[in-house]
Amino acid sequence: MTGPTPGAARLILRRLREVMAEGTSAQARLDKIVRVVAANVVAEVCSIYIVVPGGELELFATEGLNPSAVHRTRMKKGEGLVGDIALNARPLNLADAQSHPNFSYKPETGEDPFQSFVGVPILRGGRALGVLVVQNKTRRVYDEEEVETLQTIAMVLAEMVGAGDLVDPTVLEETGLRRDRPFRIRGTPIADGVAIGQVVLHEPRVVVERLIAEDLGHERQRLARAIEELRAFVDDILSAGPTLEGETRDVLEAYQMFANDSGWVERIREAIDTGLTAEAAVEKVHSETRARLLRQSDPYLRERLHDLDDLANRLLRHLAGVADTASRLALPPDAVLIARSMGPAELLEYDRARIQAVVLEEGSPTSHVAIVARALGIPLVGRCGELLDRSETGNAIIVDGETGDVHLRPTGEVRAAYEAKLAMRAQRQAAYAALRDLPAVTLDGVGIALNLNAGLRSDLPHLDETGAAGIGLFRTELQFMINPRMPRLQAQADLYRAVLAAANGRPVAFRTLDVGGDKVLPYAEALREENPALGWRAIRIALDRPALLRYQARAFLLAAQGGELNVMFPMVAEVDEFVRAKEVFMREVNRLAQSGRAAPERLRLGVMIEVPALLWQLRQLFSLADFVSVGTNDLLQFLFATDRGNPRLGDRYDALSPAALSALSQIVKTGAAYKVPVTVCGEMASRPIEAMALLGLGFRSLSMTPAAVGPIKAMVRSLRIDELSEFVAKLCASPQRSVRESLKEFALNKGVAL
């Protein structure tokens, strides 16, 4: 028996297209499709099984088996040959099916006479949506070309079924393949806020609508051009290098490996030869490769799924002529960005006025994109795996940055509930606004300085809106990150002058450039490091490239002529580094004096405590520094040896552990002994329960996101420091992994507003 040739495969696809053009019911189309396939692959049986709610496979259409078995015969995934194919998402090709150990006899089908069997999974996104089977009475092993033909037909069937063209859409509700039904996922809340809007994919997905080719030569040419463009794109970025470090370079190198894999490209060409368009061929090969990777137990290989998905989507965008991210496109006014991951510079490329929320499949509360999102007041939820697979641009979506809940295509009831929640949040914000002009003083009369974390001009109006005491951390690197070239001296000075003017006499603490690690400048020198967070960054760059620090120091001094200037150095690991940085800075002060220009009336130089090594140098440090700011994000990351960007570790260690509180207590006590002001500017200060713990340790100055000022002030004004301090002191000696619940109980018993 001779199987189909590539020409026969193309003939089958053309006939399938004719069937789909008929104005008949879905069942009538399925019945005709199995007849077309059986006739053209020379098979006595052709059957289609579809996964239905509950995960079972149901016989939906057959040519050759007993027609009465349709919609009666069912089996679980893993049961029988069909269940084995669906479970493992791979074909079975058997000369004697009934001798296979997984064979499961279904008497109602009347399949007793049939010996040879080929089944292929109907794959979409690497998941089995169903199984396509052909059978014959004679024993034979089908050749590779025949199996390939069936896989091509299955791919077309998958897109038709997924689009609701062949099966009642309700059948797909529990298969995970529908993109028109409500879907809810709970991720990790990262930046507070609630948003109702519509999906915008950061890297827009190309929906493959044209499956069957008209001109194979034209499709091969389109693929060749797209592959060439993709390779050139990746090669150009990797050769340019300066913007790439760490994970970004790893991903692009994975792209490069796949894009230059002759086997991968050849499989796409072969799929085109069977009659598919270039887009459909990419989808087919991607889905089959994805299915193989999903079966892998090796976590590294499974993680390559992301690289494969990204590459296939990028190739599809080249085929469609849309290679840019959504930041280049016109956004709706209620855009909710969805991405696998995103760097801070990528988020800053978007029009802030139109971004209502961000949802990431990865991401952690202390990543730098999270810090930027909080600075911009954008709700952010991370660790929402599967969301990209289930989302389409324009889908309605609700993001709850308080609970981590994300509702895709929400029902009317869910939308109404969140509209009510937004109204309640507005009332609560109005209550916080009423506190704006009231002092942040505890019930027993202790004043607390509540400052802002900022880094953009757009942050400056928040000073007056929140009634903040000042700016406890101004991140100067954001100006450098959003510009295609290094900002000129005057541009830097203009920004710093605007910040001081907006503060209107309130204190401002500027942080010198904290770049390196995951904060990459578009014009920086290329650098590849195994552990970027522990590498050449912040003060280390400043000391190795003192001209950069001198340049920024001049901008600070120009901006603060005749006023007060507070500057602090990040990522200091040894007191000597602070001394050397101070010397560089003071040389610019002397240079200014020699030129006859006005110097700041008061200059204070401080240190950020982010590296645990400083915990054993506190006395020397406090004897030299004018002020100290604790960056809890990095300090706790290094204290627990935990990568804060790793989604598997983000929740492993709690900032409210006795170990962390003890380290922080040591800092604030030493500062008090030396009469040196100490502020906390990390994310701990932005959350009421963590901020309450900091006050209990003795901190009297906190710096936070603008949205946190109201809640923190409400907390401050509802507690007594004397009771809190005594309670927190006991918790530092606790053997518990976390004292969070103990602090919540204290707040509840004492009526503290959290």
Q: What strands lie across the sheet with 194-201, from one edge to the other? A: 183-186, 405-408, 396-400, 194-201, 335-339, 355-360, 380-382, 188-191
Rounded to a whole number, what is the distance in angstroms from the first to the last CA of the chain? 76
Ordered alpha helix ranges (H), 595-739: 618-622, 632-639, 658-674, 688-697, 706-716, 721-731
Both structure tokens of 193 = 């806020």
- Give Cβ neighbours of residue 749 (< 8 Å, ≥ 6 apart): none
Of 202, 368, 407, 462, which residue is the catalytic one?
Answer: 368
Continuous H helices in 41-169: 80-88, 144-162
User: Would you list the DSSP string of 243-268?
Assistant: T--HHHHHHHHHHHHHHT-HHHHHHH
Q: Are 62 and 70 in contact (CB under 8 A)?
A: yes
Rounded to the nearest angstrom, the gap between the alpha carbon of residue 58 and the centroid of all alpha carbons in its chain is: 37
Residue 368 appears among annotated catalytic residues: yes
**Long-range contacts (CB closer than 8 Å, 24 or more residues apart) made by 381-384:** 381/187, 381/188, 381/189, 381/190, 381/357, 381/405, 381/406, 382/187, 382/188, 382/190, 382/647, 383/187, 383/188, 383/647, 383/650, 384/185, 384/187, 384/359, 384/360
CA 443-447-451 angle, 5° bins:
125
CA 76/CA 102 separation, integer angstroms: 12
Q: Sheet holding 74-75: strands in order across?
A: 74-75, 57-63, 45-51, 127-136, 116-124, 92-94
Catalytic member of 46, 318, 407, 681: 681
Q: Where are the beta strands (DSSP E) in 11-154?
A: 45-51, 57-63, 74-75, 92-94, 116-124, 127-136
Give me 606's structure tokens: 């401080």
C-beta atoms surrounding 237 within 10 Å: 16
Asked if residue 622 lies in contact with residue 603, where contact means CB atoms within 8 angstroms, the answer is no
Give catalytic residues, as residue numbers: 368, 681
